[in-house]
Amino acid sequence: MSTTDAFAAMRESGVVAVLRGAQPETVVDTAEALVAGGVTALEVTADTAGATDMIATLSEALGDDALVGAGTVLDSETARAAIAAGAEFVVCPSFDEGVVETCNRYGVLCAPGVMTPTEAVNAYEAGADLVKVFPAKTVGPDHVAALKGPLGHLEIMPTGGVSPDNAADYIEAGAVCVGAGSALVDRDLVEAGEFDAITERAEEFRDVIERARE
Ligand SMILES: O=C(O)C(=O)C[C@H](O)[C@H](O)COP(=O)(O)O
């Protein structure tokens, strides 16, 4: 998949689900529950044991129904391993030039984590496709709107503390999509096997984002 198509798929989903601490036994049910609720872009964080295997499993299980990527990628070795397992995008909490370079080498979309205008511009100069403002909760939607003032060309995915209560504010501030972990992929629900509740959370996110885009 081209980076343009991956970007379009993230925008279309509106939410990129962050699967942190996923387990091989439940990861497919979790992902299918998200997809059923309209969230069709999801990342498995690389700090989870067996993350690359789960990326491969999800890519196979979901096929064209979803975009599967890797999150919490801190170095180019991890980026390469995730890409080899089938990751179609790479998300990072921080900005590392080597990660962006590796992603571009293999034609995979990269969203480094940034907070300041300087970091955002440096990430774009290095070849980032969009930037993840992280941790979004410490700066809020105003920060996204302020960055978009002089840097209107930036595509921004705020992540960290995003919930159905504030997702619309980020979209209205100019975010292309949001990243959501705990408010969407609630570990208690996963452990209890309550996948329908995850589908409902996904639908809730999708509804507020669609309305904010109207
Ligand atoms: O490291 C990454 O690549 C991340 O995506 C960082 C966090 O896992 C997200 O910020 C999720 O945060 P919550 O939505 O507040 O649970």
Q: What is the pLDDT of residue 22?
A: 97
Ramachandran angles phi, psi of 63, nearest 5°: 50, -130
Nearest CA owner, ligand 1 atom 14: 181
Q: In CATH, which of 3.90.1300.10, 3.40.50.720, 1.10.3720.10, 3.20.20.70 is domain 3-213?
A: 3.20.20.70
3-state secondary structure 15-71: EEEEECCCCCCCHHHHHHHHHHCCCCEEEEECCCCCHHHHHHHHHHHHHHHCEEEEE
Identify whether the C-beta of residue 99 lies closer than 8 Å to the C-beta of residue 73: yes
Residue 165: predicted pLDDT: 98
Answer for the pair 157, 10: CB distance below 8 angstroms, yes or no.
yes
Which of 12, 25, 32, 43 is catalytic? The answer is 43
CB 133 within 8 A of CB 144: yes
- Residue of 12, 32, 97, 132 with catalytic role: 132
- Domain definitions of the chain by residue range: 3-213
pLDDT tens per residue across all 214 residues of the chain: 999 999 999 999 999 999 999 999 999 999 999 999 999 999 999 999 999 999 999 999 999 999 999 999 999 999 999 999 999 999 999 999 999 999 999 999 999 999 999 999 999 999 999 999 999 999 999 999 999 999 999 999 999 999 999 999 999 999 999 999 999 999 999 999 999 999 999 999 999 999 999 9
Residues having CB within 6 Å of any atom of ligand 1? 18, 20, 45, 71-72, 91-93, 134, 159-162, 179-183
Please give the structure tokens belonging to residue 191: 């452990």
Is 125 an annotated catalytic residue? Answer: no
Predicted pLDDT at 190: 97
Spacing, Cα 182 to ligand 1 middle (Å): 8
Question: Is 43 assigned a catalytic role?
Answer: yes
Mutate to test the pocket of ligand 1, among 16, 20, 186 (most ligand atoms within 8 A of CB): 20
What pLDDT score was predicted for residue 42? Answer: 98
Predicted local confidence at residue 182, as pLDDT: 97
The C-alpha atoms of residue 65 and residue 147 are separated, in whole angstroms, by 33
